[in-house]
Structure 1
C-alpha cells in the first residue's frame, strides 16, 4: 500500500493548524509546527511533498522561511504555499519573489484549498518523474560505456581471429560474460529504482523479526567478507519485531552490508548495532573505511549523480538509492553520518510501531 503524501503545516496559531488537519488529515500525512524556527530542520528530516507556511509569525516570518527552504538543495522539488489573511497584491508578489508556488488568502475555502493541494502534489510528482527520466538516461550513457567495451572488444577479437587457442577463446568469452553480467545488473537496478520511484513496487508490510534478516544478509555476504578478510560484529537484542516487507528489508540490509564491505579496508571489522525502542528502532551499519566527502552527503541517496561515476558501477550508488527508496516506502528512513578518514555509519530507522502486531514472520 503506497504511503500518503507528506504535508508540513507551519503556523503559530493552533486553531489554524487544527483546521488544516481537519481539511487534509484524511487524505495526507500532515505534520504541524507552531515554531517557525524548526521548519527547515523538520522539512529536511520529513522530506514533505508540500509545505504550508503562515506569513506573520514571530522570530522568523513565512517569506524568510520560504527562502531558506528554497536554498536547501535536498528539497528542490518541494512545493511551498504561503497562507495569509493579507490579500494585498504587493504581499502576494513578495511571496512569489521569495520562491512560493502559490499564495492562499484566509479565510480558506475548503474545496479550493483541497483542490490546490492536489494540483501542487501532482505537479511535484510530474517534475520528479521528468527529472528522474532525464538523469537516468544521462547515467545510462555513462554506465553503459565500460561494459559495452568489455563486450565489443573481445567479440571483435574472436570474430577476427581464425587461429586462436582454446584457452584464449575461453578468456575472451569470460570477459564478454563479465561485461554482459555487469550490464544486466545495472539495468536491473536502474529499472527497480524507477519502479520504486513510480510507486509500482508492492509494499505489503507484516510483523517481522528483523534480526534473522540481518543474519541472512551476513550469510549472503560470506564470500565477499572472506575475500576482503573482514568480519562482522552484531551488538544489540536478539529479536526486533516491526511491520515491514521482509523481502525489501533484506534487500536493504544486504545493500548496506555490501556497501560496508566495499569500502572497508582489508581485515576491518564491520559493526551492526541494533537499537530497540518501544516506539522507534534502529539498525546501524558501521564501517571504518575512507568516509564520504561532505559535498556528496546531500545527494548520496539520489543514485543518479554522474559527477562521481565510480560509485555506480561497483554497486553502492544505485543500491543505496534503492535501499533509501524501499525504507521510505515502508515508512522508515535511511540516514548517514560520515567524515573523510573516519568511516561511515548508515542508520536504518525502522517504521514506527503504532499498534500491536500479529504473527511474526
Structure 2
C-alpha cells in the first residue's frame, strides 16, 4: 500500500488553487487541502497535519513569510516541509523565505513537472526524517531501559568469575556471559552515539598532541588483548598538535584500532603511523587479517554494512559508520586499502586546524 501524503496549498487566487489541486490529484497518493489566506491555513493545520505546504508569498493581511515563521515556531510541525511560491524570481525574496524557515522556492508560472518533482522529493524527505526520529527515540529508550538490567548481568557474572567455590568450567561460562554483556552494553552506547551524530551535534575544539592520544588508546586495547600476544609497531610524528573535539574524535581512533585487533590473527602485528602534509594529519592503521574484497571496501563505512555471519561475530557493523560521521563533522575522511589475503589498512585524514563554519552537522 502506498503512503498517503497530505499537502496544503495556500494561495489567494482561486484559479491557482484549482490548477495545483487538479495537478496533484493526478497522483494517487496525495491528499490535498486548500486555503485562501494565511489565517485560514493556520486554522487548518492542527486538524489536517500536512506533510507539505505550498505557500504563496503574496497573501492578503498575513503574508507568506509571516505564516511560515508562525508554522516554524510550532514544534508540532518541525518535520513539515514548506515550499514558498511567488510570481517574482528576485533573490531577496528567496533569501527572506529561507530565513523564515522555508525549505525551497518555486516561481510562477511553474512547470508542472518541476512542481511534481519538488513535491515528491520533499514529501519523501519529510517521511524519512520522521522515521529516523522515531528510530532514534526508540533506540534511546531501549538503551535507557536496558542499561540497568545489562549492568546487573555483567556484575553478577563478574562476581561468579571471582567465586573460589565455582568450578573452572563455571568460571569460563560466567566469563563469557560477562564479555557478551559488555559487548551488548557497548553496542547500545554506540547506537545512541550514531543517532546523536545523525541528528546533529555541536563541536568543541581543543588542541592535543596526536601521538599522546594514540598511545593512550593503544595501551588500553593492548591491555584488553594481552592473551592474544598481538604486537604493535608505531611510527609517530610527535610534533603534531590537532585541534579537534577530542571526546568525540577519540572514538575514531578507538574503533579503527580495535577493528585491527579484532581481525588480526593471534601473535600478529598491527602497524600504526601518523604524519602531516600541507596542514593535513594522516593516521594509518594496518593489520595482518584476511583483508577485504572490493565490494566490502566500498560499503564498509555504511551503517550495519557487515552482514555475513563470519564478520558479524567480530563487529556489529556500526563502529566504522560512526567514524565516518565523526570525521565528516571535522571535515575529515577515512578510507580502507588492501585486498583479500593481504590485510587491511585504514587511513584517516584530518585538517590540523578547524575549518571555518564547522560545528554543527548538516545531513
Shorter chain as normaliser: what TM range? 0.5 to 0.7
Moved more, 218-227 or 305-314: 305-314
3-state secondary structure, aligned to 2:239? coil
The equivalent position to 1:119 in structure 2, one of 103, 112, 117, is 103
> How far is 1:128 from its partner?
6.0
Give the whole-Å Cα distance in 2 for the aligned partners of 1:135 and 1:180. Answer: 22
Please give the TM-score of this superposition, normalised by the length of structure 1.
0.53
CA contact 1:292–1:338 (8 Å) conserved in 2: yes
- CA deviation profile, 1:154-181 (whole Å, cap 9, x unmatched): x9xxxxxxxxx95477666555444433
Which residue is equivalent to 1:235?
235
The number of residue pairs the alignment matches comes to 236
Relative distance call for 1:218 and 1:354 in structure 2 (3 A) is closer
Q: How far 1:124 moved relative to its partner?
A: 5.3
Deviation per CA, 1:106-149: give whole Å up to 9, x if none: 977453378589626987586367369669999x9xxx9xxx9x
User: What is the CA–CA distance in structure 2 between the aligned matches of 1:125 and 1:242, rounded to whole Å?
Assistant: 38
Residue 183 of structure 1: aligned partner: 184
Q: Give yes or no for contact 2:187–2:316 (8 Å, CA) kept in 1.
A: no
Residues 130 and 171 from structure 1, CA distance in 2 versus in 1: closer, same or farther, beyond 3 angstroms?
Answer: same
Distance 1:271 1:182, change over 3 A: closer
Partners in 2 of 1:132 and 1:296 — Cα distance?
28
Cα displacement (A) at 1:257: 0.9
Contact 2:304-2:316 within 8 A present in 1 as well: no
Q: Which runs of 5+ in 2 are unaligned?
A: 1-87, 105-120, 158-164, 356-363
- The answer to whether residue 221 in structure 2 is matched with residue 221 in structure 1 is yes
Q: Which has the higher contact order (CA 8 A, sep 6+)?
A: 1
Return closer, same or farther for 1:191/1:125 CA change in 2, 3 Å cut-off.
Answer: farther
Contact 2:255 2:323 in 1 (8 A): yes
Please give the TM-score of this superposition, normalised by the length of structure 2.
Answer: 0.53
Q: State the Cα RMSD in Å.
A: 4.3
CA distance in 1, matches of 2:240, 2:133: 35
Work out the CA distance in 1 between the residues paired with 2:137 and 2:311.
15
Alpha-carbon distance in structure 1 between the residues aligned to 2:226 and 2:177:
26
Indicate the SS of the match to 2:317: helix
Unaligned residue ranges in structure 1 (runs of 5+): 1-105, 156-164, 356-361
Aligned counterpart, 2:261: 261
- Aligned-pair CA distance for 1:216: 0.6
Report 1:175-324 matches (<5 A): 175-200=176-201, 202-305=202-305, 307-312=307-312, 314-315=314-315, 317-324=317-324
CA contact (8 A) 2:136 2:195 kept: no
CA distance in 1, matches of 2:353, 2:214: 19
